[in-house]
């Protein structure tokens, strides 16, 4: 019996009867694998896979003959599939079908997977009901009429905008190329001429379309890249070292830093930040009052606490602004970051600086905090870690800055020489090189116990609650301060990753080693390896290792060997 007849036959029966349609069905030119059926009309949608032979899709081989091409093509097809769903919903008064909602960034996703012999589109479908009774005829229309129409318009190359697809793939490859050569060019970031950095508003990631000032590069900081596509892109190089961004309020300092923060991901054409490209391991650092910290060595920044607490293995369930920022920074180093992005507006003042008057009033031996301004150069010289920092209220970092960029009505100006003249010194002088080297000895690895990530009273897989929360057993892991976590599908992947890590920890692996092993599996086997579900893995997007570290570190019941 075909799928249409099966659905007609169960029309009007109890909702649980939908379970009978699980399995694989031939629907026209493709197979529809119904992997998971929702248990009631109010449960999460049913998970299904549309499987088409490669010959039916007929994608040009040059678009999918490397990993970058497959990621970009999958992203394009996902966006086209979502558009076709929207077009279908206008004619069908809303659609029960979804494939996720890609944003301004291009991420590796589980939504569409390009294999050697087939292409899979992973969709979710709300199976219709009246009360708790099956609406089988409507379900048949969705699965055997609407879905085939969407597939026809969105996955077959003959119905796609071939030039737009080719351009999408070319842009992604070019962006990834620039990112891959930043380090060899002594750069941590790049901002292309003509970029539109401001967003439409604080709660949207789409570009400001009216009144935005296109970015222009100071001549002293101009660099160019010859791209694989044959084009050349020119813009401002953010060099390794310490870069300070200054300027009046609302003149674009934080906007530039925010663009660099998001520049760890490629962006779609028209976003305005297509050519804002940052090293893939760069991490935004901020204060985060109230977060938990487990066994982190914050002693380079905080030591000799009046309470006597050991800051070489510092733990708390309620960190202050300064201790949380110190922990965030040290954890970023543990995750492999070689570039830090810091805005004084989201920093603890006493963590960042300590002026001369305060030094005179409070003796150094009575102050447990060594400010970041005294550690930023050793971070560079001892660890090879660069810093890009926004400073609007203090010139304390002029002394230690390699480069100073001023933003004046969104126009960037190189003011390095002027800043050094004002400071009367520069990083090249002996004065700047006398700072203590506290990072020469490698920090001890944090090694969880074998049960160190086992959630209390856990009966279900870890679950993402939007972008910023993971439900892990009874515990809510709060990720709202993790600025470079940009998509709920990434959070969903991290939730599953925490479950996989809990299974893999053996009392000998460090946190960093366990995450590396897991990401190696993802690279070789795909995002599906994270999911507890067979078939459709759920709507997942690849997170960076840095954000996985962030989630593990914020789990309040993380247990380490001491």
- Domain end: 104, 125, 160, which one? 160
The answer to the question of residue 445 being in a domain is: no
pLDDT score at 437: 65
pLDDT score at 443: 66
pLDDT score at 359: 78
pLDDT score at 429: 53
pLDDT score at 307: 81
The answer to the question of residue 395 being in a domain is: no
CB neighbours of 139 closer than 8 A, spacing ≥ 6? 7, 18, 127, 128
pLDDT score at 309: 83
The answer to the question of residue 127 being in a domain is: yes
The answer to the question of residue 383 being in a domain is: no
Show pLDDT as tens, one digit a residue, over the chain (562 residues): 799 999 999 999 999 999 999 999 999 999 999 999 999 999 999 999 999 999 999 999 999 999 999 999 999 999 999 999 999 876 666 689 999 989 999 999 999 999 999 999 999 999 999 999 999 999 999 999 999 999 999 999 999 999 999 999 999 999 999 999 999 999 999 999 999 999 998 888 999 988 899 999 999 999 999 999 999 999 999 999 999 999 999 899 999 999 999 999 999 999 999 999 999 999 999 999 999 999 999 999 999 888 878 899 999 999 999 999 999 999 999 999 999 999 999 999 999 998 878 877 887 777 889 999 999 999 999 999 999 999 988 899 999 999 999 999 999 999 999 999 999 887 755 444 445 567 755 667 899 999 999 987 777 899 999 999 999 999 999 999 999 999 999 999 999 999 999 999 999 999 999 999 999 999 999 999 999 988 999 999 999 999 999 999 999 999 999 7
The answer to the question of residue 71 being in a domain is: yes
The answer to the question of residue 94 being in a domain is: yes
- Two structure tokens written together for 445: 């690895």
CA gap 417, 303 in Å, rounded: 35
pLDDT score at 483: 96
Domain coverage including residue 522: 463-553
pLDDT score at 297: 95
The answer to the question of residue 105 being in a domain is: yes
Q: Where are the alpha helices (DSSP H) in 263-336?
A: 321-334
CA gap 181, 7 in Å, rounded: 55
CA gap 335, 281 in Å, rounded: 8
C-alpha pair distances (Å), 206 with each of 72, 200, 203, 270: 20, 6, 9, 9
pLDDT score at 431: 46
pLDDT score at 464: 96
CA gap 466, 494 in Å, rounded: 12
- Domain end: 118, 144, 160, which one? 160
State the helix-helix crossing angle for 147-155 and 67-91, rounded to 10 degrees: 140
What's the total number of domains in the chain? 2
Place of tokens 């300092």: 253
The answer to the question of residue 469 being in a domain is: yes
- Domain end: 130, 160, 190, which one? 160
How many Cβ atoms from other residues are within 10 Å of residue 65's Cβ? 10
């Amino acid at each position: 019996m075909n799928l249409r007849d099966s659905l007609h036959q169960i029309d009007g029966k109890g909702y649980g009867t939908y379970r009978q349609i699980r399995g694989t069905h031939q629907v026209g030119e493709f197979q529809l694998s119904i992997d998971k059926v929702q248990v009631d009309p109010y449960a999460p949608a049913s998970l299904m896979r549309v499987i088409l032979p490669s010959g039916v899709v007929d994608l040009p081989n040059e678009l999918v003959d490397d990993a970058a091409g497959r990621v970009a093509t999958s992203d394009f097809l996902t966006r086209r599939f979502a558009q076709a769903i929207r077009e279908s919903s206008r004619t069908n008064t809303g659609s029960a079908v979804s494939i996720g909602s890609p944003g301004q960034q291009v991420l590796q996703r589980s939504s569409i997977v390009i294999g050697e012999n087939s292409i899979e589109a992973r969709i979710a479908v709300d199976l219709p009901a009246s009360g708790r009774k099956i609406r089988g005829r409507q379900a048949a229309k969705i699965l055997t009429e609407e879905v085939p129409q969407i597939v026809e318009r969105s996955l077959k190359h003959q119905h796609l905008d071939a030039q737009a697809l080719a351009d999408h793939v070319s842009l992604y490859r070019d962006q990834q190329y620039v990112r891959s050569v930043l380090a060899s060019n002594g750069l941590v970031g790049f901002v292309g001429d003509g970029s539109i950095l401001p967003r439409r508003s604080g709660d949207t990631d789409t570009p400001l379309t009216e009144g935005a000032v296109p970015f222009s590069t100071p001549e002293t900081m101009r660099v160019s890249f010859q791209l694989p596509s044959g084009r050349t892109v020119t813009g401002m190089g953010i060099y390794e070292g310490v870069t300070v961004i200054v300027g009046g309020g609302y003149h674009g300092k934080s906007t530039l830093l925010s663009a660099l923060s998001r520049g760890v991901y490629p962006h779609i054409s028209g976003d305005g930040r297509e050519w804002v490209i940052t090293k893939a391991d760069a991490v935004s650092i901020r204060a985060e009052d109230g977060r938990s910290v487990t066994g982190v060595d914050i002693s380079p920044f905080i030591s000799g606490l009046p309470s006597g607490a050991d800051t070489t293995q510092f733990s708390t369930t309620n960190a202050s602004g300064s201790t949380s920022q110190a922990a965030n920074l040290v954890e970023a180093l543990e995750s492999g970051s070689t570039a830090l992005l810091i805005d004084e507006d989201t920093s603890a003042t006493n963590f960042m600086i300590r002026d001369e008057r305060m030094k005179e009033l409070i003796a150094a031996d009575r102050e447990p905090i060594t400010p970041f301004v005294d550690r930023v150069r050793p971070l560079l010289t001892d660890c090879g870690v660069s810093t890009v920092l926004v400073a609007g209220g203090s010139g304390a970092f002029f002394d230690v800055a390699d480069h100073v960029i001023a933003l004046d009505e969104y126009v960037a100006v190189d003011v390095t020489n002027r800043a050094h003249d004002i400071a009367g010194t520069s990083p090249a002088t002996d004065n700047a090189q006398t700072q203590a080297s506290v990072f020469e000895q490698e920090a001890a690895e944090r090694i969880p116990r074998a049960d160190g990530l086992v959630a209390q009273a856990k009966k279900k897989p870890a679950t993402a609650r939007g972008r910023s929360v993971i439900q892990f057993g009874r515990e809510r892991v709060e990720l709202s301060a993790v600025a470079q976590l940009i998509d709920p599908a990434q959070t969903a992947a991290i939730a599953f990753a925490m479950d996989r890590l809990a299974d893999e920890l053996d009392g000998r692996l460090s946190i960093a080693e366990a995450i590396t092993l897991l990401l190696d599996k993802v690279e070789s086997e795909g995002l599906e390896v994270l999911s507890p579900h067979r078939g459709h893995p759920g709507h997942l997007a690849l997170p960076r290792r840095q954000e996985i570290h962030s989630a593990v570190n914020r789990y309040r019941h993380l247990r380490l060997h001491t």
